[in-house]
Amino acid sequence: MIYELTATDSRSSARAGIITTDHGTIETPIFMPVGTVGSVKAVTQQQLKTEIKAEIILGNTYHLYLRPGTDIIEQAGGLHRFNGWDKPILTDSGGYQVFSLSNNRKLKEEGAMFQSHIDGSKHLFTPENVIDIQRSIGADIIMAFDECPPYPSEYDYAKKSMELTHRWLARCVKRMDETEPKYGHRQFLFPIVQGSTYKDLRKTSAEFIASMECEGNAIGGLSVGEPEEMMYEMAALCCEYLPTDKPRYLMGVGTPWNILENIALGIDMFDCVMPTRNGRNGMLFTSNGVINIKNKKWANDFSPVDEGIDCPTSNFYTKAYLRHLFVAGEVLGLQIASVHNLAFYLHLVKQARAHILQGDFAAWKEQMIPQLKQRL
Amino acid sequence: MIYELTATDSRSSARAGIITTDHGTIETPIFMPVGTVGSVKAVTQQQLKTEIKAEIILGNTYHLYLRPGTDIIEQAGGLHRFNGWDKPILTDSGGYQVFSLSNNRKLKEEGAMFQSHIDGSKHLFTPENVIDIQRSIGADIIMAFDECPPYPSEYDYAKKSMELTHRWLARCVKRMDETEPKYGHRQFLFPIVQGSTYKDLRKTSAEFIASMECEGNAIGGLSVGEPEEMMYEMAALCCEYLPTDKPRYLMGVGTPWNILENIALGIDMFDCVMPTRNGRNGMLFTSNGVINIKNKKWANDFSPVDEGIDCPTSNFYTKAYLRHLFVAGEVLGLQIASVHNLAFYLHLVKQARAHILQGDFAAWKEQMIPQLKQRL
């Protein structure tokens, strides 16, 4: 077992735990910065470690397979060696990207045919080759190949899609069993619960996923446009059927308040492009609320970006300077906003963990959420 | 006097010295990273200090006047406070940018009328208000307002332009004498030798500039398209007439080999956008020569970007990873290339200084230049 449950909140389902991988331990709940093509956008590996204090980052199978390609990654000795990040890495399976980014995709029982969004070249992803690619990348946690249905989806479509995802999962598990890690460290497969926004499908899927007895489990297909309340309802339902002695990963979520609410439901792991993508557009998440740094009101605000967190970048640069960088189109603006937002997300999950251990998570969460949502 | 001459090379005119400002000392010869709008593009202030080991950076009067504007900079308490760089800053006067960037500029005895390249708004720069703006910015070294004639220029045009620059200089000096620093630290005016590529004009100009008895002197109007040999000839000629007990700043130069050749002629200070601009285009200057990192040959070269210099970024990331970042269009690529190139330039001038002090600069330079120019 890679997961150790350390504490459970008495007034919610929030949990504190530790995941152990061959690249180190991860204290949960955790947020994982997204490094799609092997680089967290506009952030250095040193900043990830020393300022953001990330414990695990994401890579993306779809992107890394297309560029630089598995041959280069294998020659490097895996993604950890290639990008210099020696802590844990999780790779998304590419299923989501095949449907959101590529062209002319065609879904078959065998897998998904698609054309690269870069050069139009044709490719086939199958449960088997997606495992093989993730073996080549060398991620510590690798995701099963799934279909992520859009929101809203018809019941019949959602059901068929879920069943396909389940059949693909069985093939992923088989391929995992038949193959070995390439770089001497262990790799763990996480399957993904689907079922759109249908309770019975989510229950069926969560039960099936749980029955596969993998080392951790993920919930996919949420935060794809459904109302927030529906996301919470589905996440809560999935948590009910997913085992408590294994980590639960809610994919692609979300805002700071989404994260706190889902922690309360029993989620342990999160990833989202929001802190970096919104950061590059000038949206900052801070201890005091949400800031649009391009707004004129910050032009002569010489207070630090955020004094409430322990991040040199957030403490050093002022709002006025950061606004100036955005208005002038300077790259340094993107860098500061990205580092700050990620540091804030990591700060938030670490605070959540401390309050779970302290026993006052639920009260703290209720007090934090209005503060986090406030528009400054 | 702000300059102390420490050593002169026996086999060339190279000098080692120290410039003292209220924001610290600068060991010369020195290269100054360009921070046009108050940010060295794609580089953090922390990287400038700890990795690049910059001793002084540039700001630009034209850009800072337009954005964020002197009101914001004054409210911040000067540029040092605004951007958090607490070491020396030099500001270019804006003369060069009025002619290279703005629209509809009109030159008059009074000054230069121009339209902003950002919003088309109309502005007038005069020797007086350019000094006032630089007082507001609070740079340690501020440049006189000059006209920089293009290459090639007719003799008559170059002569008239030089004479105008000289008259403007007298007005700059007067304005400096009439005004006070705004933030309690001293500011020193450097005048600029012009005269295009005409020896007699350069001699006249250098003599006039020297006669103003400022704390340091600059050479402008070179590296604007003339052959390299002509640049060296003009720089050598100017150095002949500029005092030896004051620093000499060659504006806008250049490649690593340009810098070593000009150090040999007696130049102490350099600035250029080349390391950052070319870096952003994938051109790296390294200990072993010039690299186009986008080239396919680096795709599986897992050696560090440059092991020959003491810069964590250059030592940590590999050529293969950096190439991947450029090919994938990742911002981190620009960051790594910019930090590396600047660290390399600073490394080079520090090495030059060490060899001047050691007494073997000329021999070292001859050995280095072919190595630096080599295309890898």
Q: Is A175 helix (H, G, I), strand (E, B) or coil?
A: helix
Is the Cβ–Cβ distance between B24 and B58 less than 8 Å?
A: no
In A9-83, DSSP assigns E strands to 15-21, 24-28, 30-32, 57-60
Q: Looking at the DSSP assignment, which residues form a beta bridge with residue A236? A: none
Question: Please, what sign has the CA dihedral across residues B350, B55, B339, B37?
Answer: negative
Per-residue model confidence as pLDDT tens digits over A217-256: 999 999 999 999 999 999 999 999 999 999 999 999 999 9
Determine the residue of chain B that is closest to A51 in CA distance: B46
Per-residue model confidence as pLDDT tens digits over B152-199: 999 999 999 999 999 999 999 999 999 999 999 999 999 999 999 999
- The CB density around residue A227, as the number of other CB atoms within 10 Å, is 10
pLDDT of residue B84: 98
Q: Does B68 touch chain A (CB under 8 A)?
A: yes
Q: Does B82 touch chain A (CB under 8 A)?
A: yes
Q: Which of A34, A41, A276, A331 to mutate to test the interface with B (most CBs of B within 10 A)?
A: A331
Please give the share of chain A, as a percent, with pLDDT higher than 70.
Answer: 100
- In the block, tokens 């990873």 appear at B321
| Average pLDDT across chain A, whole number | 97
- The CB density around residue A34, as the number of other CB atoms within 10 Å, is 22
pLDDT of residue A229: 98
- Which whole number is the average pLDDT over A130-149? 97
Is the Cβ–Cβ distance between B258 and B346 less than 8 Å?
A: no
pLDDT of residue A228: 97
Q: What angle, 0 to 180 degrees and rounded to 10, lies between the N-to-C axes of helices A256-265 and A331-358?
A: 30
ipTM exceeds 0.95: yes
- Which whole number is the average pLDDT over A357-361? 97
Is the Cβ–Cβ distance between A345 and A278 less than 8 Å?
A: no
CA distance A245 to A330: 47
- Which whole number is the average pLDDT over B41-56? 98
- In single-letter form, the type of residue at position A103 comes to N
CA distance B245 to B251: 19
Closest CA to B127 of B166, B170, B172: B172
Spell out which residues of chain A touch residue B39, defining contact as CB-CB under 8 Å: 325, 328, 330, 332-333
First to last CA, chain B: 44
Residues written for chain B: 376
Q: Looking at the DSSP assignment, which residues form a beta bridge with residue A292? A: A283
Spell out which residues of chain B touch residue A305, defining contact as CB-CB under 8 Å: none
Pairing of strands A289-292, A283-286: antiparallel
- In the block, tokens 């490094």 appear at A35
Q: What is the pTM of this model?
A: 0.98
Across the interface, whether the CB atoms of B325 and A45 are under 8 A apart is answered no
- Which whole number is the average pLDDT over B9-27? 98
Query: Where does residue B158 fall: left (phi above 0), alpha (psi -120 to 50 degrees), or beta otherwise?
Result: alpha
Query: Where does residue A196 fall: left (phi above 0), alpha (psi -120 to 50 degrees), or beta otherwise?
Result: left
CA distance A354 to A346: 12
Spell out which residues of chain A touch residue B63, defining contact as CB-CB under 8 Å: 328
Q: What are the distances in angstroms from CA B341 to CA A140, A155, A282, B42, B305?
A: 34, 57, 28, 12, 10
What is the dihedral angle through the alpha carbons of B166, B171, B176, B179, rounded to the nearest 10 degrees? -170
**φ/ψ (deg, to 5) at A285:** -100, 125
Question: Please, what sign has the CA dihedral across residues A105, A111, A117, A122?
Answer: negative
CA distance A53 to B189: 45
Residue B1 has pLDDT above 90, yes or no: no
Residue A169 has pLDDT above 90, yes or no: yes
Per-residue model confidence as pLDDT tens digits over A277-303: 999 999 999 999 999 999 999 999 999
> Which element (helix H / strand E) includes A103?
strand A103-107
Residue B335 has pLDDT above 90, yes or no: yes
CA distance A36 to A86: 16
Residue B96 C-alpha from the chain's centroid: 12
- The CB density around residue A307, as the number of other CB atoms within 10 Å, is 12
CA distance B115 to B181: 28
First to last CA, chain A: 44
Across the interface, whether the CB atoms of A316 and B46 are under 8 A apart is answered yes
Catalytic residues of B: 92, 271
Q: What angle, 0 to 180 degrees and rounded to 10, lies between the N-to-C axes of helices B331-358 and A331-358?
A: 110
Q: Mind giving me the DSSP string for B31-53?
A: EE-B-TTSS-TT--HHHIIIII-
Q: Which of A46, A302, A324, A342 to mutate to test the interface with B (most CBs of B within 10 A)?
A: A324
Residues written for chain A: 376
Spell out which residues of chain A touch residue B84, defining contact as CB-CB under 8 Å: 316-318, 321
**φ/ψ (deg, to 5) at A123:** -145, 160
Residue B102 has pLDDT above 90, yes or no: no
Is the Cβ–Cβ distance between B223 and B258 less than 8 Å?
A: yes
pLDDT band at B107 (very low <50, low <70, confident <90, very high): very high
- Which whole number is the average pLDDT over B10-24? 98
pLDDT band at A104 (very low <50, low <70, confident <90, very high): confident
Residue A95 has pLDDT above 90, yes or no: no
Question: Residue B331 is nearest to which of A63, A325, A334, comparing CB atoms?
Answer: A334
pLDDT of residue A102: 80
- Which whole number is the average pLDDT over B352-359? 98
pLDDT band at B137 (very low <50, low <70, confident <90, very high): very high
| Average pLDDT across chain B, whole number | 97
Across the interface, whether the CB atoms of A84 and B45 are under 8 A apart is answered no
CA distance A325 to A337: 10
- Which whole number is the average pLDDT over B69-77? 98
Residue A342 has pLDDT above 90, yes or no: yes
pLDDT band at B98 (very low <50, low <70, confident <90, very high): confident
In A183-262, DSSP assigns E strands to 188-190, 192-193, 217-219, 248-250
Sequence-distant (6+) residues with CB within 8 A of B101 are: B62, B117
pLDDT band at B236 (very low <50, low <70, confident <90, very high): very high
Is the Cβ–Cβ distance between B282 and B326 less than 8 Å?
A: yes
Across the interface, whether the CB atoms of B331 and A330 are under 8 A apart is answered no
Residue B100 has pLDDT above 90, yes or no: no
Residue B95 has pLDDT above 90, yes or no: no
Residue A98 has pLDDT above 90, yes or no: no
Per-residue model confidence as pLDDT tens digits over A49-75: 999 999 999 999 999 999 999 999 999
- In single-letter form, the type of residue at position A219 comes to I
CA atoms within 13 A on the CB side of B234: 26
pLDDT of residue B99: 83
Please give the share of chain B, as a percent, with pLDDT higher than 90.
Answer: 97
Q: Does B324 touch chain A (CB under 8 A)?
A: yes
Chain A / chain B CB contacts < 8 angstroms: 119
Across the interface, whether the CB atoms of B67 and A43 are under 8 A apart is answered no
Question: Residue A332 is nearest to which of B39, B316, B336, comparing CB atoms?
Answer: B39
Residue B101 has pLDDT above 90, yes or no: no
pLDDT of residue A155: 98
pLDDT of residue B7: 98
CA distance A266 to A271: 15
Residue A208 has pLDDT above 90, yes or no: yes
Pairing of strands B24-28, B15-21: antiparallel
pLDDT of residue B374: 98
CA distance B97 to A146: 55
Residue B68 C-alpha from the chain's centroid: 22
CA distance A127 to B177: 77
Q: What are the distances in angstroms from CA B135 to CA A24, B79, B81, B171?
A: 53, 10, 14, 15
- Which whole number is the average pLDDT over A260-272? 98
